[in-house]
Amino acid sequence: MKLQNYALGKWVAGDGDGQSLYNAITGEEVATASSKGLDFAEMMNYARKTGGPALRKMTFQERGLMLKKLAMHLSSQKEQFYKVSWATGATRADSWIDIEGGIGNLFTYASLRRQFPDETFCLDGDAAKLSKNGTFIGHHICVPKEGVAIHINAFNFPVWGMLEKIAVNLLAGVPAIVKPATITSFLTEAVVKEIDKSGILPAGALQLICGSANGILDHVISQDIVTFTGSASTGKLLKSHPRLLEEAVSFNMEADSLNCCVLGKDAVPGTAEFDIFIKEVQREITVKAGQKCTAVRRIIVPENLVEDVQIALGKRLAQTVIGDPQVEGVRMGALAGKAQLKEVAEKVMQLAKTQEIVFGDMEKFEVTGADKNKGAFISPILFLNKDPFKYQDVHNIEAFGPISTIMPYNTVAEAVELAKMGKGSLVCSIVTGDDKIAKEFVIGAACMHGRVLVLNADCAKESTGHGSPMPMLTHGGPGRAGGGEEMGGKRGVFHYLQRTAIQGSPTTLSNITNNYQYGGKYIEKDIHPFKRYFEELEVGETLITAKHTVSEADIVNFANVSGDNFYAHMDATSLDGTIFTGRVAHGYFVLSKAAGLFVDAKKGPVLLNYGLEDCRFVKPVYPGTTIGVRFTCKEKIVQEKKTPEDIAKGIVKWLVDIYDETGETVAIATILTMVKKKNQE
């Protein structure tokens, strides 16, 4: 079978015989892959000229719903992906991480749309007041870059590696060209074919290269984004490409790293934390046969517990059944191919020069349901390094398989130093029931790690584990780990957006951004805004309410209703040394009274109060103060209809500016209402 590339909206096989790809379990050829004949420059232009404009016309809400639809479709087809994944050497559990973990990223970023406006662009942060009277302000607007995201991925996660990246760039409005590692690209091809078949993504939003992509970086421009996942050595070569430097192209690198797991001194045998540690480390060694960029390579334990850890971990590793993942009881499959097996074996030999193998053997191990010599099988290998400060190969050489090293420490400071000797890691973890130990380690080690997991009995049951990057958190790390960031929720989306400072009057910036800026001109209507449907409301539309003079009776009555008898509200004799000159009204009374002033009581398009944001009480309100409200439509966000019977509606954000008789603001907040659409189709 010859794999096909997806280029310029068509499936095409590359010219020539191509590279042979093999079943990691049986050693049989499963496909060949070639990219010869592909015009990378044309593919990139197609993405920029066809995919980019189509995505940029969509709002964040529309792009998020597109991801949700795609995730649901791929979920319905996942069993076919599991069948293909077996040939990569993965068990069902391994494939679950890759396949359903990848689809889960799509779902997560689909939900992230709720943190963005119903616009093709978004704002970042708050407005900056640049003049004394507020007539000149600044803000940051973020628009999709008009290039293409080129994702160069590793072989270990052919599905997750693609989906976790395209989820982010597609939500941002940027098309992608995906280049999976050729050795496992047959699984990526199967998923992309299903994506294409669904017709969910616009033309040009996604293209696939199964063969070599050598030369693709020759055609990048400043608006493009390149991401790389793989070895540090390859990443450095790509990062220094002259075209990237010349065009100042954004380059994100996520490289394999020498991650560690630390056992706290308190976690002695017999404690829940000791058992958690042994289970976690064993899992990290054997999942995906150790082929994870986040796998535990260094096991850092108190010197007096080295023997206990070695025995307990050895017992668990001895129970790991290696073989064909389709055979019941098999818990660890094969490496992705013979080339990986050869490379790992070489690294094991290098590490064996300065440390001792205490579990496992490269030759003597059993394989269930398969021929050990035909597949890319390997035994878990556990090393012991008695002096990791002297013998430092363990901090520099990574065997990308089920290989890890136990090493001792005496103090938390030593554990921190050992963790940092990896010269930058994607993740480290510490298992301890002592939060003082946890704090000392986290603060000390954080500067050299992209993520730190603290495990104890309280969270272990629900923890996603040492090796699982989560979509809403940054995945990446400093130094050897590449110095980049992936995912990270909203933060990740901004990598694909151009942040631009804009300056002008509040009214002008309100009109540019469709987000009302404080101090902008009001749009006053003859009809109350609560009587207007979602489509009818305009950003900047403002209701100037009637006024109310606050009395002592208001304060007493609110205290009785709320139970808030704080001295500043109720005891005028206790105010010495405070900022108050008399009894002061409750902030929440002021806000509640404001609601009484701006709410229209009769039934109308407003369905409910949806929430409150950014509430501040900025000036004391004393009895005798007269307050009024400037109630302004700040932003509108459409909501999806989850069922045909669902009410068509949207969320409207209102700026509640409460002011006194001097015109000064005493409190300010943003409230959210759910408003019905006039058009219910």
- Which residue among the candidates 210, 261, 293, 428 is catalytic per the annotation? 293
Handedness of CA 56, 59, 62, 67 (dihedral sign): positive
pLDDT at 63: 96
pLDDT at 46: 97
pLDDT at 516: 94
Structure tokens at 262: 């630390």
pLDDT along the chain (681 residues), means of 10: 92 87 90 91 96 96 95 94 91 90 94 92 93 93 96 90 95 96 93 96 96 91 93 85 92 90 96 95 93 93 96 94 91 90 93 94 90 91 96 94 96 96 94 95 95 93 89 90 89 94 95 92 92 93 95 94 91 88 92 93 89 92 95 91 87 95 94 91 76
Structure tokens at 276: 């958690």
pLDDT at 577: 87
3 state SS of 263: strand
C-alpha distances out from residue 593 to 336, 386, 544, 602, 665, Å: 66, 70, 14, 18, 15
Alpha-carbon distance of 271 to 84, in angstroms, equals: 42
552 an active-site residue?
A: no
Alpha-carbon distance of 275 to 137, in angstroms, equals: 57
- Which residue among the candidates 164, 189, 254, 486 is catalytic per the annotation? 254
- Which amino acid appears at position 271 of this protein? T
pLDDT at 640: 85
pLDDT at 204: 96
In the chain the domains, ranked by start, together with CATH numbers, are 4-255+491-498 (3.40.605.10), 259-466 (3.40.309.10), 522-676 (3.10.129.10)
pLDDT at 573: 87
pLDDT at 67: 96
Residue the block writes with tokens 């052919």: 158
Alpha-carbon distance of 423 to 255, in angstroms, equals: 12
pLDDT at 230: 85
664 an active-site residue?
A: no
pLDDT at 548: 96
